[in-house]
Amino acid sequence: MSVELKVPEVGESITEVQIGAWLKQEGQRVEKDENLVEIETDKATVELPAPATGVIAKVLKRNGDTAVVGEVIGYLDEAGADGDQTAAAAAQAQAAETIQRAHRPKEKAKPAETREPPASPAASEPARPQAPAGDAAGQALVLSPEAPRPLARGQDARRGRDAAPVPSSVAPRGGREEEIVPMSPIRRRIAQRLVEAQQTAALLTTFNEVDMSAVIALRNEQKELFQEKYGVKLGFMSFFVKAAIDALKLVPQVNAEIRGNDIVYHNFFDIGIAVGGGKGLVVPVLRDADRMSFAEIELAIADLAHRARENSLTLDELQGGTFTISNGGVYGSLLSTPIVNPPQSGILGLHTIQDRPVVQKGQIVARPMMYVALTYDHRIVDGQGAVTFLKRIKEIVEQPMRMLVEI
């Protein structure tokens, strides 16, 4: 019995997908619920399980092809107790087809039209010095050792000096091949969202720098105990999530969005964390991050980052969010201007930590410094609010004990 393999419902408002890699090929036996093919959407990658035990009979859509929800992309020959026999029969049929193709008479190539190629200047030159050559009057001249040699290419015959060089064809160098691959749905969505943000929002970025000495000292003091108790490393991201929530409470416009002619203020804090996934940058969301402890934040981020690399995030985990934090410092970025993730109104960019000279109490000292950037929608957040937001981030991170007593 032949079973249709159809593109499943993969999320609200998603009607088109891109076929990824087939995990099973034609003629291969599969068990029920075994994953058959990867299906890529603009938000995540899902896998289509086998609806029954059987053999892949036909693949209609290949890697890179697009398909709509509900479209048939292949067929599965359902197999019960005789599943192995069905697989063997399919393999034999494939082998027979291969043999038949090998014994088919090859089509003879049509003879190419022969044409006398034009003689090149080098080919038309006399082979010997004594060979005749025509002058301008059509008379034959005999070249002798004493006779003047023909002018070199590019030399003016009248004045005996170099004239403009004649361009010559240059053989292309090797290793200049191009590879064309279809853009994945996630990459297309990223491109669309970035362009949308630039075209619809009045984006502006303001900067500050943070002395990371206190956070580094606290982290070094507590990291072993923290990891022993919670099974995860104490990173810097949990400090910035906590600091960002405090700053969002102080400047609520950064946690708001514009809907038509209205401003919607969110009284909850769903913080998106930008992470690099297997298919590109994704932004999974920490729901109600203001209710999470340091350990819960670190555990959640570690889990989301791992599943982003494995392309196993769910659509719900990638939707929504009221504010985003992007840490380019993990890649070595010193300074950047992150782009807002619409319809959000702000994004905090973190960067690499470097020892830099700063002045403290009249003395020049080296301190581990980090540049921070806030890109915001100037339609809803004014300059004063943006500067106040970053100053609050700076104050809390430089005095992390304030996070505990909420001052």
Domain ranges of the chain: 2-96, 186-405
Q: Choosing from 65, 290, 303, 382, which is the catalytic residue?
A: 382
The pTM for the full model equals: 0.64
Higher pLDDT, residue 137 or 385: 385
Q: Which of 4, 5, 13, 2 is nearest to 319 (CA)?
A: 13
* Lowest-pLDDT choice from 57-61, 276-280, 346-350: 276-280
- The predicted pLDDT at position 108 comes to 47
Please tell me the predicted confidence (pLDDT) of residue 191.
82
Query: Mean pLDDT over residues 272-284, rounded?
Result: 84
Segment 303-331 mean pLDDT: 90
Residue 367 CB coordination number (10 Å): 17
Architecture of the domain defined by 2-96: Beta Barrel (2.40)
Q: Which of 142-146, 188-192, 282-286 has the highest mean pLDDT?
A: 282-286
Q: What pLDDT was estimated at residue 20?
A: 84
pLDDT tens per residue across span 352-405: 999 999 999 999 999 999 999 999 999 999 999 999 999 999 999 999 988 876
Structure tokens at 82: 């005789």
Whether the per-residue pLDDT at 262 is higher than 80: the answer is yes
| Residue 377 is among the residues annotated as catalytic for this protein | no
b/e burial code for range 140-165 (CB count within 10 A of at least 16 → b)? eeebeeeeeeeeeeeeeeeeeeeeee
Contacts of 189 (CB under 8 A, 6+ apart): 42, 43
At 9 the pLDDT is: 84
Q: Is the pLDDT of residue 175 over 60?
A: yes
Q: What is the average per-residue pLDDT within 164-193?
A: 72
CATH superfamily label, 186-405: Chloramphenicol acetyltransferase-like domain (3.30.559.10)
* Residue 135 annotated among the catalytic residues of the structure: no
